[in-house]
Amino acid sequence: MTGAEKSLRHTLFTWSTQGGLDPIEIVSAERAHFTDGQGRRILDLASLVLNASAAIHHPKIAEAIAKQAATLPAAGPGMATEIRGRYGEALASVVPKGLGKFLFTLGGADANEHAIKIARLVTGRAKIVTRHRSYHGATLGALAATGDPRRLPFEPVMPGVVRVLDPYCYRCPFGWTPETCRRPCIDHVEEVIRAEGPETVAAVLVEPVVGTNGAFWGPPEYLPRLREICNRHGILLIFDEVLTGFGRTGRWFAFQRWGVVPDMITMGKAITSGHAPLGAVAVSERIAAHFDTKPLVTGLTHSAHPVSLAAGLATLEVMREEGLVERADRLDLMLAEALAAIAARHEVVGDVRSLGLYGVIELVQDRGSREPLLSHDLGRRALARGIHLATRWNYVFIAPPLAIAEDDLAHGLDTVSELIGHLNR
Ligand X SMILES: Cc1ncc(COP(=O)(O)O)c(C=O)c1O
Let me know: does 259 contact 222? Beta carbons within 8 Å. Answer: no
Total interface residues for ligand X by CB under 6 A: 15
Minimum CB separation from ligand X for residue 328, in Å? 17
Regarding 143 and contact with ligand X (CB under 6 A), the answer is no
Let me know: does 349 contact 343? Beta carbons within 8 Å. Answer: yes
Minimum CB separation from ligand X for residue 52, in Å? 13
DSSP type of residue 96: P
Minimum CB separation from ligand X for residue 220, in Å? 21
Stretch that binds ligand X, among 186-194, 240-248, 298-306, 401-409 (CB under 6 A): 240-248
Q: Would you say 109 or 404 has its CB closer to ligand X?
A: 109
Distance CA 245, CA 319 (A): 12
**Displacement of CA 55 from its chain's centroid (Å):** 16
Distance CA 107, CA 266 (A): 9
Stretch that binds ligand X, among 157-165, 225-233, 238-246, 360-368 (CB under 6 A): 238-246
Minimum CB separation from ligand X for residue 142, in Å? 6
Let me know: does 212 contact 143? Beta carbons within 8 Å. Answer: no
Regarding 33 and contact with ligand X (CB under 6 A), the answer is no
DSSP type of residue 140: H
Residue 41, SS3?
Answer: strand
| Binding flags for ligand X, 76-115, as an x/- string (CB under 6 A) | -------------------------------xxx--x---
Which residue in 31, 84, 114, 136 binds ligand X (CB under 6 A)? 136
Regarding 135 and contact with ligand X (CB under 6 A), the answer is yes
| Residue nearest to ligand X according to CB distances in the complex | 108
Minimum CB separation from ligand X for residue 277, in Å? 8
Regarding 356 and contact with ligand X (CB under 6 A), the answer is no
Regarding 242 and contact with ligand X (CB under 6 A), the answer is yes
Binders of ligand X among residues 148 to 207 (CB under 6 A) are 207
Q: State how far the alpha carbon of 113 is from the alpha carbons of 61, 101, 110, 128, 141, in Å.
A: 28, 17, 5, 11, 6
Q: Would you say 88 or 245 has its CB closer to ligand X?
A: 245
Which residue in 137, 208, 245, 312 binds ligand X (CB under 6 A)? 137
Q: Would you say 50 or 373 has its CB closer to ligand X?
A: 50
Residue 206, SS3?
Answer: strand
Q: Would you say 242 or 343 has its CB closer to ligand X?
A: 242
Minimum CB separation from ligand X for residue 254, in Å? 10
Reference 106, options 304, 241, 293, 242; nearest CA is 304
Let me know: does 103 contact 303? Beta carbons within 8 Å. Answer: yes
Minimum CB separation from ligand X for residue 138, in Å? 6
Minimum CB separation from ligand X for residue 189, in Å? 19
Binders of ligand X among residues 254 to 313 (CB under 6 A) are 268-269
Minimum CB separation from ligand X for residue 240, in Å? 5
Sign of the alpha-carbon torsion through 316, 318, 324, 326: positive
Regarding 412 and contact with ligand X (CB under 6 A), the answer is no
Q: Would you say 243 or 281 has its CB closer to ligand X?
A: 243
172 φ, ψ (degrees, to nearest 5): -55, 120
Let me know: does 116 contact 193? Beta carbons within 8 Å. Answer: no
Question: Which residues are bridge partners to 245 per DSSP?
Answer: none
Q: State how far the alpha carbon of 353 is from the alpha carbons of 336, 338, 362, 382, in Å.
A: 7, 11, 8, 20
Distance CA 342, CA 337 (A): 9
Q: Would you say 20 or 153 has its CB closer to ligand X?
A: 153
Sign of the alpha-carbon torsion through 381, 387, 392, 393: negative
Which residue in 100, 141, 208, 211 binds ligand X (CB under 6 A)? 211
Reference 84, options 309, 282, 300; nearest CA is 309
Question: Which residues are bridge partners to 103 per DSSP?
Answer: 281
Regarding 243 and contact with ligand X (CB under 6 A), the answer is yes
Minimum CB separation from ligand X for residue 183, in Å? 23
Distance CA 306, CA 65 (A): 9
Strand stretches in 228-385, DSSP E: 236-240, 264-267, 279-283, 349-355, 358-363
Q: Would you say 203 or 243 has its CB closer to ligand X?
A: 243
Minimum CB separation from ligand X for residue 333, in Å? 25
Stretch that binds ligand X, among 29-37, 235-243, 288-296, 371-379 (CB under 6 A): 235-243
Chain residues that interact with ligand X, rule: CB under 6 A = 107-109, 112, 135-137, 207, 211-212, 240, 242-243, 268-269
